[in-house]
């Protein structure tokens, strides 16, 4: 029973300790009023610093009180433990400010000792825990709290890519780790277990039992080039009959037979520019080297007069960018590119994934584009249509929906996996003065089948 009690006490202390950063993780800047209200001590240094907030204090007290009851401990003991632990936390912060240590930085032992030790002024006499046992529990608490602090501050809050054009939020960084970081590949299936259940067990089994699986794969391999023309009245004269080849949603490591078909179709095209709209990988997590190797076979067959461009999708990783750029694709991450032709110009504005990582920033992508310029907006999903229209984009190119991948007669797509209107799930659409096109995608996602939809590579010609 003593071991069980020790485990309960450590859980209580750790969760009290982790509650303030967890609240910061989920609430970000909401309700983060500092406890010291920005005041300074007589040495002109902050009393505690901005990371000690009333939100964190209140959360820790509530967590301690109710968690104690769940663990079979008295309510008042949990509250007292939380009060003393947070008091110790503020003592540590006060000392760190006097030592000129920045707020929010790790300081081993000092960060953990007081908030772990002070609660035992109440815990030890009430539960009859001796000095040696209390000391061992304090050491274990400090070790666990330090590991948690390192993970939160040095991994979740760390900027993993100095070239990324905006600060990553802690939630986004956790998604990046759980989906892309090779150092955490063995635990990534834990974060995405629902994907295996939904796609590989439920949906795939349904098509196999129905005897439709092989037919669905055959449909998925029937990719075609779709040729469209769009009239753009404000298109510069030099860009009349400007051709864009747009392809997206390859997911090529899930259906590798697509590689020769897509390569052949792209090799036959002679575009002014080629654009890849995101989603190289089949799964949303795990290995992405295979799809990059397969993509290199496709990229080698592409020719374009004014360059190749790409944006990332919700299945893609920032780690893919160096390889994609070595293959000749300029990846637009909330950035823009200018295309010049005989003294006239058009602009491409490309944003990061808006669907899963929620990192699309239209204003940042358009910041270097003149208001009067002709602007093409590149985004993996149609979900940014309002924001793109608000900054004066003329043409919006996207994918992501796969046109539903599986459609029903008279009903259309079963799922679009998009927060945009269903009218934007496939083909041309209009929002205000902005025209858009949502590609059905070249590949398939989840389960490699198509029904009543066809994979496509878009050849779009702009005319005045």
Beta bridge partners of 261: none
Q: Are 333 and 165 in contact (CB under 8 A)?
A: yes
Place of tokens 């390192």: 150
Encode burial over 169-190: b for 16+ CB neighbours within 10 A, e otherwise. bbebbbbbbbbbbeebeeebee
- Among the residues of 268-338, which ranges form H helices? 289-299, 321-326
Q: Which of these, 310, 313, 350, lies nearest to 331 by C-alpha position? A: 310
According to CATH, what is the number of the domain 199-463?
3.60.21.10
> Domain residue spans in the chain?
2-158, 199-463
Alpha carbon distances (Å) from 1 to 6, 8, 38, 55, 385? 9, 11, 46, 35, 60
Paired tokens of 157: 């809050």
Q: Is there a contact between 341 and 237 (Cβ–Cβ < 8 Å)?
A: no
Torsions phi, psi for 193 (to 5 deg): -60, -30
- Please report, for residues 303, 359, 363, 461, the alpha-carbon distance to residue 380 in angstroms, rounded to integers and kept in the order given: 22, 12, 16, 20
Confidence (pLDDT) at 1: 54
Strands 273-276 and 308-310: parallel
Q: Which structure tokens are listed for 364?
A: 């940042």
Q: Which two tokens stand for residue 300?
A: 């080698």
In this structure, are residues 273 and 239 in contact, taking their beta carbons and an 8 Å threshold?
no
Angle at 338 (CA atoms; ends 332, 339), nearest 5 degrees:
115
335 has which bridge partners? 350
Place of tokens 């029903």: 408
For residues 398 and 439, the answer to whether their CB atoms sit within 8 Å is yes
Question: Whole-prediction pTM value?
Answer: 0.79
pLDDT on residue 107: 78
| Contact (Cβ atoms closer than 8 angstroms) between residue 364 and residue 334 | yes
Please give the average pLDDT of every successive group of 10 residues along the chain, which has 464 residues.
Answer: 86 93 80 86 86 91 94 93 94 88 76 91 92 92 88 72 72 82 75 75 89 96 98 96 98 96 97 98 91 96 96 95 96 96 97 93 96 97 97 97 94 90 95 97 95 97 96
Q: Are 40 and 46 in contact (CB under 8 A)?
A: yes
User: How many residues are listed for the chain in this entry?
Assistant: 464
- DSSP letter for each residue of 171-232: HHHHHHHHHT-GGGTTTHHHHTHHHIIIIIIIIHHHHHHTT-HHHHHHHHT--EEEEEEEE-
For 364-390, b where at least 16 C-beta lie within 10 A, e where not — what string?
bbbeebeeebbbbbbbbbbbbbebbbe
CB within 8 Å of 183: residues ≥ 6 apart: none
- Give the integer Cα–Cα distance in Å for 209 and 87: 61
The tokens for 408 are 């029903």
Cα dist from 26 to 23, 49, 144, whole Å:
5, 20, 21
């Amino acid at each position: 029973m003593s071991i069980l009690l020790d485990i309960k006490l450590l859980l209580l202390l750790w969760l009290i300790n982790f509650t303030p950063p967890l609240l910061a993780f989920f609430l970000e800047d909401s309700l983060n009023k500092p406890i010291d209200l920005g005041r300074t001590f007589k040495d002109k240094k902050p009393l505690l610093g901005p990371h000690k907030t009333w939100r964190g204090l209140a959360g820790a007290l509530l967590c301690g009180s109710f968690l104690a009851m769940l663990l079979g401990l008295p309510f008042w003991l949990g509250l007292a433990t939380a009060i003393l632990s947070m008091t110790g936390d503020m003592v540590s912060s006060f000392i760190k400010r006097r030592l000129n240590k920045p707020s929010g930085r790790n300081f081993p032992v000092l960060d953990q000792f007081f908030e772990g030790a002070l609660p035992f002024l109440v815990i030890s006499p009430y539960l009859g825990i001796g000095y040696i046992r209390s000391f061992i529990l304090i050491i274990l608490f400090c070790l666990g709290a330090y590991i948690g602090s390192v993970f939160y501050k040095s991994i979740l809050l760390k900027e993993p890519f100095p070239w990324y054009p905006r600060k990553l939020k802690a939630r986004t960084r956790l998604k990046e780790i759980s989906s892309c970081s090779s150092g955490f590949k063995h635990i990534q299936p834990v974060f995405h277990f629902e994907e295996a259940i939904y796609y590989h067990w439920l949906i795939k089994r349904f098509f196999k039992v129905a005897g439709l699986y092989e037919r669905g794969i055959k449909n998925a391999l029937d990719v075609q080039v779709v040729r469209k023309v769009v009239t753009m009245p404000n298109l510069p004269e030099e860009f009349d009959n400007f051709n864009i080849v747009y392809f997206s949603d390859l997911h090529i490591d899930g259906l590798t037979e697509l590689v020769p078909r897509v390569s052949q179709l792209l090799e036959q095209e002679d575009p002014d520019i080629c654009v890849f709209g995101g989603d190289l990988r089949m799964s949303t997590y795990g290995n992405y080297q295979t799809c990059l190797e397969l993509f290199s076979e496709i990229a080698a067959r592409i020719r374009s007069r004014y360059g190749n461009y790409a944006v990332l999708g919700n299945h893609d990783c920032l780690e893919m960018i160096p390889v994609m750029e070595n293959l000749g694709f300029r990846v637009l991450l909330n950035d823009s590119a200018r295309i010049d032709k005989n003294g006239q110009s058009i602009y491409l504005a490309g944003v990061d994934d808006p669907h899963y990582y929620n990192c699309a920033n239209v204003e940042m992508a358009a910041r270097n584009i003149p208001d009067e310029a002709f602007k093409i907006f590149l985004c993996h999903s149609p979900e940014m249509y309002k924001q793109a229209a608000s900054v004066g984009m003329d043409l919006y190119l996207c994918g992501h929906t796969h046109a539903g991948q599986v459609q029903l007669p008279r009903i259309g797509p079963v799922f679009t996996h998009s927060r945009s209107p269903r009218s934007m799930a496939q083909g041309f659409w209009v929002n205000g003065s902005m025209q858009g096109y949502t590609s059905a995608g070249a590949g398939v996602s989840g389960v490699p089948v198509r029904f009543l939809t066809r994979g496509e590579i878009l050849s779009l010609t702009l005319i005045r």
